[in-house]
Structure 1
Amino acid sequence: MENNFKSWMANPISKIFMVTNFLFAVLFVVSVPSFVKEHITQDAVSIGGKKYDISDVRESSPIAYSKFQSEYKSLLKNTFGEFAQDKLFELVAKEKNIKPSDVLNEGFVAREPSDEDVLNVYMSNKDQLGGKSLAETREKIVGFLKNQQEQEHSRNKYREIITKYPVDFLIKEPDIVRVTVDEKNNPSIGPKDAKITVIEFSDFECPFCKRSQDVNRQLREKYKGQIRWVFRDFPLPFHQDAMYAHMAANCSVEDGKYWEVFNVLFENSGNLGKSNVDSLVLGTGVSKAKYQNCMRDQRKLKSEIEADIQDGQKVGVSGTPAFFINGIFVSGALPFESFDEIIQKELKQ
């Protein structure tokens, strides 16, 4: 409520815009579309007189091809989503003899918010109101609460519409593109014979990598015993503290403390100066003598980390986090459902 009100006060959003966003969300939840199968051979590039099409991209650059499929899928979803929305409104408008633009607000009558509701919004956002009194802001708060009523009415109307006129996305599924990625004895969690192997290229200083760890833990918990998770170093050059943090983590392997160090480094992702990293590592119970001895050979440590980076670059990794689920490339800190869908399909094979 608080964040919604601040956003609305700063820049009131039109009903149509807010409803449209909601419609797309519901449409895509109603039917989880499969991936697109499309080999566009009529579109090509000529290099030195030789023609190359998308099948050549797939053969020589599977990651680039995978990204193409993902972006093409999203484009199809958006295009069909807009089309489906218009058609649904046309159907209902014809049935009820009203304008398509009136479908979602049909029958809506705003009720006057109670004094208690108005006061609650005011008190929750008082610090952001520039010292204005309740009387000075009451009109805008009432408008915000009525706007919320209208949104809820629109959501209920749309649920009724898609119940009567179900929407299913019928998009063909492509061949799965897999990339061979070596583990090279890097730290791992899970059984070696697990049906699912996830290889993660990540950076302890990367905020998106930190965000992805919650999803990663959820996946390991849900598929415990079925999934093997391998971590490979990929500190980005513009993260000045990342390389040292990765070296420090690798120096905890001998004491069997790698994953404890892994967790504490990501928890402190925004504060990875050398002295703090040392303190965090030793705080996990790593032997101080062993740690200091290991960290002396920084050339060797950097060489091992750079080997991970080079291996990642060879298979198309250019940013973090990057994942390979049984060789299927997934880029970025995506929601749980994006990974779960792939894993479910892999388990069924």
Structure 2
Amino acid sequence: MENYFKSWMAHPISKIFMATNFIFAVLFIVSVPSFVKEHITQDAVSIGGKKYDISDVKESSPIAYSKFQSEYKSLLKNTFGEFAQDKLFELVAKDKNLKPSEVLTQGLVVKEPSEEEIINVYMANKAQLGGKSLSETRDKIVGFLKNQQEQEFSRNRYKEIITKYPVDFLIKEPDIVRVTVAENNNPSIGPKDAKITIIEFSDFECPFCKRSQEVNRQLREKYKGQIRWVFRDFPLPFHQDAMYAHMAANCSIEEGKYWDVFNVLFENTGNLSKGNVDALVLNTGISKSKYQNCMKNQTKLKAEIEVDIQDGQKVGVSGTPAFFINGIFVSGALPFENFDEIIQKELKQ
């Protein structure tokens, strides 16, 4: 915050004006220290008598700082979003002489679902209904279909509202924190000179990692030729079958089958026993003898994977999946839009 001052010493000043400024000066002297103490020294941690603030976190642990920035922005957006929604409903309610609770439902007419719709829902979900008949589940299916109508009506109404009353989030973008992450000659997809390099630390036994693969494929498809995607092993210690699966995948690299094995292992995340992993790998067409010979040297394979784990830990990876988009840390199986926003900004630079 900048302060601007004017010189007033050269001008005649009345006694009243001088007294007023004197009082202001006294108040300023008294209040500034308390202001500083309250606002400048807050948000810190004292360790052994030495105080550290967020700038120290940024310097020593950029990933922790990046997480803080991202989560703070998300919290702000959610808070403003809830506030904006309430205000929008107030505006519309006043305009249409309604109660705010009626804004999204005014004019709603829920129709009785057709027999065809009921049967389609029943057949599509029959396996999850525990053997119950259509007559036993009819009321629940009808309720479900009516609820869908209500939700669709509310979504369309909300779109109309924000078209009339646009909502823009004027939230300052957080500082971009980049971390240097080595590729270390790991398997990759995409050109080496791509403008975007994404390094993924992941675990074949991790359900969140499996979930993220669909988003990853969508990104590679949309930005084909613009993204280089690097995969690094990060089997978590509490996933008992993960290490073996990662060793098996690495034994397929020389045969040019890595990404085939990669895909089939993630398709079977919940069933990666050693026997099943071996069968899955061999079903991709890899040479059985070469695979078995490679898997005999487990000490070497584990050492290579440990390098990935240690490199990840050095840059702040503690869970999976973890991504670095041109060094910008992204944690977790997030929606497509979260990655897309960062990539588009990087491509514009």
Q: Same fold (TM over 0.5)?
A: yes
Amino acid at match of 1:195: K
Cα pair 2:70 2:174 within 8 Å, conserved:
no
Q: Give the deviation of 1:208 after TM superposition.
A: 1.5
Gaps of 5+ in 1: 1-38
Following the alignment from structure 1 to structure 2, what is the Cα–Cα distance between the partners of residues 158 and 105?
10
Following the alignment from structure 2 to structure 1, what is the Cα–Cα distance between the partners of residues 291 and 202?
22
Q: Aligned runs of 1:23-42 on 2, under 5 Å?
A: 42=42
Amino acid at match of 1:51: K
Following the alignment from structure 1 to structure 2, what is the Cα–Cα distance between the partners of residues 282 and 117?
44
Instruction: Give the direction of change, closer, same or farther, for the CA distance of 1:267–1:116 in structure 2 (3 Å limit).
Output: closer
Q: Give the deviation of 1:147 after TM superposition.
A: 4.0
Q: Report the aligned-residue RMSD.
A: 2.6
Instruction: Give the direction of change, closer, same or farther, for the CA distance of 1:40–1:85 in structure 2 (3 Å limit).
Output: farther
Cα pair 2:205 2:269 within 8 Å, conserved:
yes
Following the alignment from structure 1 to structure 2, what is the Cα–Cα distance between the partners of residues 125 and 299?
47
Instruction: Give the direction of change, closer, same or farther, for the CA distance of 1:146–1:227 in structure 2 (3 Å limit).
Output: closer
Give the number of aligned pairs. 310
**1:57 maps to 2:79:** no
| Structure 1 residues 15-35: Cα deviation after superposition (integer angstroms, max 9, x where no partner) | xxxxxxxxxxxxxxxxxxxxx
**1:306 maps to 2:310:** no
Q: Aligned runs of 1:169-318 on 2, under 5 Å?
A: 169-318=169-318
Amino acid at match of 1:300: K
Secondary structure of 1:191 counterpart: coil
TM-score, structure 1 as length reference: 0.80
Amino acid at match of 2:99: K
**1:319 maps to 2:319:** yes
Instruction: Give the direction of change, closer, same or farther, for the CA distance of 1:159–1:53 in structure 2 (3 Å limit).
Output: same
Q: Give the deviation of 1:46 after TM superposition.
A: 1.2
Gaps of 5+ in 2: 1-38
Partner of 1:339: 339
Cα pair 1:41 1:55 within 8 Å, conserved:
no
Q: Aligned runs of 1:70-109 on 2, under 5 Å?
A: 70-109=70-109
Compare 110-119 and 261-270 and name the one that shifted more. 110-119
Rg: which structure is higher? 2
| Structure 1 residues 184-208: Cα deviation after superposition (integer angstroms, max 9, x where no partner) | 1111121211111111111111121
Amino acid at match of 1:258: Y
Cα pair 1:40 1:54 within 8 Å, conserved:
no
Q: Give the deviation of 1:108 after TM superposition.
A: 3.2
Compare 324-333 and 141-150 and name the one that shifted more. 141-150
Q: Give the deviation of 1:105 after TM superposition.
A: 2.2
Following the alignment from structure 1 to structure 2, what is the Cα–Cα distance between the partners of residues 139 and 256?
54
Following the alignment from structure 1 to structure 2, what is the Cα–Cα distance between the partners of residues 62 and 240?
31
